[in-house]
Amino acid sequence: MGARRDRPRVLLYADVDAVGGAEIAMGNLLSALDDAYEVWVAGTDERFVRWLARRGRQVPWAVVGPGPLAHLRMLRRIRPHVVHVNLEVPWAAPTMLACALAQPGLRVVAVEHMAARTVHLGTLLRTRALLLRLDQHVAVSADAAKRVEDFYALGRGSVRVIHNGVPPAPALGRAAARGDGGLVIGAVGRRDRGRGHAWWLEGGRGVPEPSSL
């Protein structure tokens, strides 16, 4: 990327160690940004950060260690104008949010991808305190926005809705013929308990003669 000094410097951050739908959406956003912005990517896992950086055009990246001091050092080194924090659940990335919100003049945006609710009171109160201070709070659907507002008592209309952009899929050739003609069922998603894959697999046992599951 060029060295123009008049461009806003944007830092994209996620505290994850795997790639799921939320991270793919973040990669789609990065690939769509033009050189009107000076973009950095950062996170706590090097493999993920490298993966994300490759979605952009010559995007610099940083891996940050645990704890607030490491996050503060990274913010002071990069000196972003805007921090975009990708949240796989509403209580994710509390260290980054707290450190970014403590920087004078730094704009902080958080994007919700799953409207999950915590039953731990301390986590709920911490999450609410951080989310209330955001400059912009975004969810990827109207339902997710409403649920996050309700779960964390944020107030109706406090979370904006911006749907994920999905690039056009490449043309697919004709699928190979199935010898047994059985039903094929597939699912794509992060491998965690909240996605319910175990329930889905258990229920699939009742499907007559599936060729793959």
pLDDT band at 166 (very low <50, low <70, confident <90, very high): confident
Beta strands in the chain (DSSP E): 9-14, 38-43, 61-63, 82-87, 107-112, 136-139, 160-161, 183-184, 210-212
Residue 133 inside a domain? The answer is yes
Residue 72 inside a domain? The answer is yes
pLDDT band at 41 (very low <50, low <70, confident <90, very high): very high
H/E segment holding residue 76: helix 68-78
Closest CA to 72 of 102, 106, 93: 102
Closest CA to 77 of 110, 52, 40, 105: 40
- Establish how many alpha carbons lie within 13 A of residue 69's alpha carbon, considering only the half-sphere containing its beta carbon: 0
pLDDT band at 71 (very low <50, low <70, confident <90, very high): very high
Predicted TM-score (pTM) of this structure: 0.79
Residue 167 inside a domain? The answer is no
Distances from the Cα of 99 to the Cα of 11, 66, 122, 194, angstroms: 13, 12, 19, 28
Same-domain check for residues 94 and 147: yes
Tens of pLDDT, residue by residue over 14-23, are 999 999 888 9
Residue at token pair 């043309």 = 171
Same-domain check for residues 90 and 151: yes
Residue 44 inside a domain? The answer is yes
Same-domain check for residues 157 and 187: no
Same-domain check for residues 28 and 125: yes
Same-domain check for residues 125 and 202: no
Same-domain check for residues 100 and 192: no
Q: Which domain holds residue 198?
A: 183-212
**The pairing of beta strand 160-161 with beta strand 61-63:** unpaired
Residue 1 inside a domain? The answer is no
Same-domain check for residues 156 and 208: no
Tens of pLDDT, residue by residue over 44-69, are 999 999 999 999 988 999 999 999 99
- Establish how many alpha carbons lie within 13 A of residue 123's alpha carbon, considering only the half-sphere containing its beta carbon: 11
| Structural contact between residues 70 and 91, judged by C-beta atoms closer than 8 angstroms | no
Same-domain check for residues 119 and 76: yes
For residue 57, the domain's CATH number is 3.40.50.2000
